[in-house]
Amino acid sequence: MQTEIAHPLDVYLRETGIHNIWCTGCGNGILLNSFATALKELDFDLDKIVVVSGIGCIGRIAGYINADSFHTTHGRPIPFATGVKLANPELKVVVISGDGDLFAIGGNHFIHAARRNVDIKVICANNFNYGMTGGQQGPTTPLNVSTVTTPYGNIEHPFNLVHLAAGSGAVYVARWTTLHVRRLTESIKKALQKQGFSFIEVIAQCPEIYGKSTKMGNAIDFMNWFKKASEVQTFSDPAKAEVTRERIPVGEFVDIEKPTYEKLLREKIVQVENRTRGGT
């Protein structure tokens, strides 16, 4: 048996990351690649990053990255990440989870962390369904699509996640598909270096489950859809950035500065400490 050649990104992965549970052509694998590339290009100190994930196929990613990591209960990576960050602000805390985990069960936590501008990075692998459990509808499933729990067609309007994030107060909002690997890597690097709640939506293909259920063809057909439908925008209106069959607006939508929760907390503590020291 030939000894395996080492891939330049292997150092960013645990062994399980290479022998992972993801299907052929799964967008999660590309996201992992993009994330590891970003860490490499920033020469990021792996001792200073914590990766937190929720439940779903993408949830396994925390176990695949060679860094401190935690796999929470469904929907709860964001409040867990908030606790980590506030307990040790020196750490870079990244949440990587799925559309259902972050926006259905976890929706409340998302909007509040964004509102507070906690300095965590949230990367959402949006594959339009609950892949792990067999392809049920999710909060981003497009209208009329047939899934295992919308066998007659989905009657729910999906979220426009970019708009939701921007409206909740995120200071950096971007969306890319897994085809836009290099721009995704750039956005991840930007988010890692930015202060404040940063959100990146990654449109990820789920060829084996969502693809089959919606007859999108194979993995390559899925990617070709990304190629055809994507429209690169530059800071266009998040409200108009809905994803449809015909049009996937990608790009950066928000990049602003706002005092982070940690900064305001630190300032407040100094204020209080001075006051109590000064008092009798």
Angle, CA of 37, 237 and 255, to the nearest 5°: 45
Using CB under 8 A, pick the residue from 11, 42, 88, 235 that binds other proteins: 88
Strand-pairing partners, residue 65, are 13
Q: Which of 143, 232, 256, 269 touches other proteins by CB under 8 A?
A: 269
Please select the residue that binds other proteins; options are 43, 90, 151, 155, rule is CB under 8 A: 90
- Which residue type occupies 126? N
Helices and strands per DSSP (H, E), number in the chain: 11, 10
Is 143 one of the binding residues for other proteins (CB under 8 A)? no
99-128: contacts with other proteins (CB under 8 A): 108-109, 112
Shortest separation between residue 77's beta carbon and other proteins, angstroms:
8
Q: How far apart are CA 64 and CA 51, in angstroms?
A: 10
Q: Which are the contacts of 83, defined by CB distance < 8 A and separation ≥ 6?
A: none
Of 131, 127, 138, the closest CA to residue 203 belongs to 127
Place of tokens 């750490």: 91
Q: Is the Cβ of residue 90 or residue 151 nearer to other proteins in the bound state?
A: 90
Among 148-156, 160-168, 209-217, 219-227, which window interacts with other proteins (CB under 8 A)? Answer: 219-227
Separation CA 247–CA 219 (nearest Å): 19
Which region among 27-35, 163-171, 193-201, 249-257 touches other proteins (by CB under 8 A)?
A: 27-35
| Binding-residue total with other proteins (CB under 8 A) | 75
| Binding flag, residue 29, other proteins (CB under 8 A) | yes
Q: Minimum distance between the CB of residue 280 and other proteins, rounded to whole angstroms?
A: 6
| Token duo for residue 5 | 């050649």
Q: How far is the CB of 230 from other proteins (least distance, A)?
A: 14
Asked if 63 touches other proteins (CB under 8 A), the answer is yes
Q: Which of 160, 185, 198, 230 binds other proteins (CB under 8 A)?
A: 185
Member of 16, 144, 193, 244 binding other proteins (CB under 8 A): 16
In this structure, the strands spanning 248-255 and 172-177 are antiparallel
Coil, strand, or helix at residue 171? coil
The conformational region for residue 148 under phi > 0 = left, psi -120 to 50 = alpha, else beta, is alpha
Question: In this complex, which beta carbon is closest to other proteins, that of residue 95 or of residue 173?
Answer: 95
Select the residue interacting with other proteins from 43, 151, 246, 276 (CB under 8 A).
276
* Nearest to other proteins of 72, 154 (CB atom): 72
Question: Cα separation of 107 and 139, whole Å?
Answer: 10
Q: Report residue 9 as tokens.
A: 């990104």
CB 73, min distance to other proteins, A: 5
